[in-house]
Amino acid sequence: MSIAPQPVTVTLKQGQVTGLQTQTVTQFLGLRYAQAPTGALRFAPPKALGPQAPFDATQAGPVCPQLPSRLRTVMGDFEAVQDEDCLCLAVWTPGCDQRKRPVVVWLHGGAWQSGGGALAWYDGTRLAEKGDCVVVGVNYRLAALGWLYVPSETANVGLLDEEAAVRWVVDNIEYFGGDPANITMMGQSAGGFNIAAMLAREPLFNRAILQSASLGRGFREPAQAAHLSRVFLQATGAQTVEQARALQVASLLAAQQAPSVVAALKEEGANRSLFCPVGDAEFFSLPLGPLMQQAATRADVLLGYTRDEMTAFPGTERDLASQQLGEKIFGAPSRQWAHDAHAAGRQAWVFEFAYGPNPVFGACHCSELPFVFGNLESFDGAAMLQGMPAEHGARLAEQMQSAWIAFIHGRTPGWAPSPAVHVFE
């Protein structure tokens, strides 16, 4: 007999929040971790919250405004409320008690242009229940709202959003049964790269899971980022950042597809997203090469890639050329990161996800996600999983979740450390 969800109220430093206790976990949705980044705060660093009125955390918060993902034909699509006032997070916990469980903070992928931290794909219920850990899913600003680069303005405000979310976790997670001194950052694709970038600054964590982090693409150089931003702003009709702050969000989204912007990105020839972290000298304290080597020494790491990364992207065939490109962007840089971490005395484990039931896509970018979260039903109909026997999916989810949970708890995931590579298939 199922029991109806019951309200649970927790008092944080900013005020009371009320979530729902389900049969297995207690969830809090749409929790603000910073002020609304609207009006004069558009394109600005996140501002800390002051005292808040009692908050109903039983409904999902909005995701950052975005265009449809270019991977939707492979992994499926989602529906979610979009709003510029999106700096919120979700918490799934086995109990709001004094247990001080390990915490895992999830940063979603989406080429810095799409996605959300608490979509059904990334619901943390199963991971929290199975792993006796507290799972946090974070929204951060996307596309121009989070990653527009203008030399006179603060760079990489989307990354500052994520750092603000981690500070919120450190300050508040004990009220949700979590240990603020035991945080694992977990991210995929853009989210994984962002964690690497956070490790290049002053991280508040010392354990990280990087799934298909595009380490081989690196940061965009400031001069090129400034050029793309000028072309982008011209496409919106704005001459200055101040004018861009007054535009409708729809104008910013439309400019991503303007012919002049598409042409400028193609001319760059770097196979990068239109928006991504920029190696700004004021934002990062060292030259980028030494900086990333140093970043790899700051956390124990579980990281890896899929065998056919590039086949998820439009216009890419599953062939030797695409595998070589995936190796250049994802595979080799991940193994190098693990090597650098291990050489510095850190724990480092590498995996390759090689299961791809659909022969068109193989083990493409994002194909490991259903198994890490155990939310296979949320990917029902996804082309990348067509042909998968249910029992194989359940077995693979059990294997991957067990490994991830062991790492989150500070144990070995079950195979030899770097340079060994464990294959999931």
Which amino acids are annotated catalytic? Answer: 189, 309, 365
Which of 12-15's residues contact partners 24+ apart within 8 Å by CB, and which partners?
12/172, 12/175, 13/171, 13/172, 14/49, 14/50, 14/51, 14/52, 15/51, 15/52, 15/53, 15/54, 15/55
Q: Which two tokens stand for residue 35?
A: 């002020």
Tell me if 201 sits within 8 A of 284, measured CB to CB: yes
φ, ψ of residue 289 to 5 degrees: the values are: -60, -60
Q: At what angle do helices 190-199 and 288-295 cross, to 10 degrees?
A: 90
Rounded CA-CA distance 321/311 in Å is 11
From residue 170, alpha-carbon distances to 163, 183, 205, 248 in Å are 11, 8, 9, 34
Rounded CA-CA distance 95/176 in Å is 7
Residue at 278: amino acid letter? V
Tell me if 396 sits within 8 A of 424, measured CB to CB: yes
Q: Which two tokens stand for residue 104?
A: 């895992």
Beta-strand runs (E) in 212-316: 300-306
Q: Among 406, 365, 343, 326, which residue's Cα sits nearest to residue 110?
A: 365
Q: Which two tokens stand for residue 198?
A: 């956070």
Q: Cα 362 from chain centroid?
A: 23
Rounded CA-CA distance 367/356 in Å is 8
Rounded CA-CA distance 50/32 in Å is 11
Q: Which two tokens stand for residue 33?
A: 């971790």
The length of the chain, given as a count of residues: 425
Tell me if 141 sits within 8 A of 157, measured CB to CB: yes
Give the sign of the dihedral formed by CA 170, CA 202, CA 280, CA 214. negative
